[in-house]
Amino acid sequence: MRNEHLRLDNDRTAAGFRVPPADHTLSSDGPLPMYRLSTIVVLFVFWLLLSGYFEPFLMAAGAASAIAVVWLAHRMNVIDREGHPIHLGWRALLYWPWLVKEMVKSAWDVSRIILHPRLPISPEIVRVKPTQKTAVGVVIYANSITLTPGTISVEVGMDEIVVHALTHAGAQGLAEGDMDRRVSRFEGPA
């Protein structure tokens, strides 16, 4: 592994991604309150799911914990558009079912290959050019590739993703670009 992918230099770049400087100018009239509120809600719902307690005192303690965590995160300046991408929320309702369907189809294909007596694999390393405009979009694309059985993202950059495909058909499926187009639509305008 190359050292430049691990190091964060003075330009604040890492693994090919440009990291913008922290924006301390966001005020209460900007988008930050919505991110804070949605983070509190997500943390509280997560707390409820894990605890399973619905007594008033314990629910108040869970809400207070969620508020305290978000307050600390705000003080540390780690609440941002990338860390909590609520702007992608409604598009997920269209993308995730399609991704689950692709995962099931690929899992079925990989299972057939594994159970075949001759094990008909033809592993390939392919390079795909992502069309996403943001680091979040490229990460969603790379993770979608990895979540689909038979393919795994080996190296990820803004201009190229190196993918190991178990079969030639899997590599061709990536080259056709259907997943890339769907992730770009999911990402929306930058």
Condensed to tens digits (0 to 9), the pLDDT of residues 82-127 reads: 777 777 888 888 999 999 999 999 999 999 999 998 889 999 999 9
The DSSP bridge pattern shows strands 124-128 and 161-165 to be antiparallel
> Which of 122, 129, 32, 38 lies closest to 86 in space, CA to CA?
38
Work out the average pLDDT over 120-149: 95
**DSSP per-residue letters across 4-17:** GGT---TT-EETTE
Work out the average pLDDT over 142-154: 96
Q: Global pTM?
A: 0.69
pLDDT at 6 over 50: no
pLDDT at 138 over 90: yes
CB-CB contact of 165 with 136 (8 Å): no
For the chain, percent of residues with pLDDT exceeding 90: 64
Q: Output the pLDDT for position 31.
A: 63
Q: How confident is the model at residue 13 (pLDDT cuts 50, 70, 90)?
A: very low
Work out the average pLDDT over 171-185: 94
Domain boundaries, the chain: 3-75, 88-187
Q: Output the pLDDT for position 34.
A: 83
pLDDT at 160 over 90: yes
